[in-house]
Structure formats: C-alpha cells, structure tokens
Amino acid sequence: MSTREQNEDRQLIALHELNIPEKNIYMDKQSGKDFERPQYKRLVRRMKRDDLLYIKSIDRLGRNYGEILEQWRILTKEKGIDIVVLDMPLLDTRRGKDLMGTFLSDIVLQVLSFVAENERTNIRQRQAEGIAAAKARGVQFGRPPAPLPENFHAIHQRWRSKKMTLREAAMACGMPVGTFYSKARRFEKVD
C-alpha cells in the first residue's frame, strides 16, 4: 500500500521475491492517513483463518500507534490470520504460537508501532520547521501571480473615478470581480 507520491516498486520487488501471485497483491494508491482504502478493505474481507499476510513494513498497517495495534488485533485475533512483516523478521506470527512467542511478538509490535507514529510526528515537525525557515528567507510558495493585463491601469483609473462599475472593470480586464478587486487594492498600496 503506497501513496500517490510513493514508488511502490520496493514493495512489489519484495513480494515478487516471495513468489506471491499478482492476483494476491493488493495496493492502494491513495493517502494512507486513514483507513478509507478500498483495496485494503477488500484484502481484509477476503482473508480467511490461517491465511498468511505479507507486508513490507509495519507502517503499512496504519499511520499511528493505535491504528497499527488495532489492525494487528483484527487480523490476528478476529480473523485468525498470520502476518509476516518483511522489514522486521521478529514480527512473524507463524513462529512462537505459545504464550511466550505471542508475548514477544506483542512487545515488538508495540515498540515498532510507537516508532512508526513517532517518526511521522517528527517528519511533520521537520516539514513545518523547513517551511517556516524558507518563509523567513523570503521563499514564496505557490504559483507566481499572473501578470496584470495591459489595460489594467487604465481600467483601474476609470473604475476609481466611477466611470465604470466594479463588475464592468473586472470584465474589461478578463478576470473575476474578487480578483480584480484584490489586484486593485495591491496596486493601490504600491503607488
């Protein structure tokens, strides 16, 4: 499961190395910030007791500590399936089905779930700090404003001298009323 921005190749390679048939690979190409993922839901519906689920890393189950633990519980306890986390061989529910094995698996799961959520929090904080630093340096975000039409200055003067309405001025410049008005205000501040 990957977002639009992610390249899912590393996950597909890992799954193909296990000789998993293409028809048994489920992938969502939308944000994983919540569990509104149709392919994931389809996968969970199709899984039956004693099936085996391979996932590349624990954060594929959810985006925070609680979500990961809840999905793990649903899959292993309610559905009765086994899970193998390829990036963390300790998380393989096929091994150690006794009390000690379950206990160790649960501890590792809780630690990794915490680490996954903590990393997401850190990423968001670093992004916010980076954006704030860039803004402090004067970096402008977003698309640059479109240049004013050649007739803007003349139309603006006619509008300010009440020779045309705001709507007529905006139409003459080929822009929406709100855009004309905000550009006029900015233009007046410059003068």
Supply the residues annotated as catalytic.
2
Retrieve residue 128's tokens.
């916010």
Task: Quickly tell me which residue has 């009390």 as its tokens.
Answer: 99
CA nearest to 42, candidates 23, 58, 59, 56: 23
Q: How far, in Å, CA of 91 to CA of 109, rounded? A: 7
Look at residue 92 and give its three-state secondary structure: strand
> Is residue 84 a contact partner of residue 91, using CB atoms and an 8 Å limit?
yes
Residue whose token pair is 């009765």: 80
The token duo for 97 is 């089905």
Per DSSP (E only), the strands in 3-76 are 52-55
E-strand stretches of 12-163:
52-55, 82-85
Residue 55 pairs in a beta bridge with 85
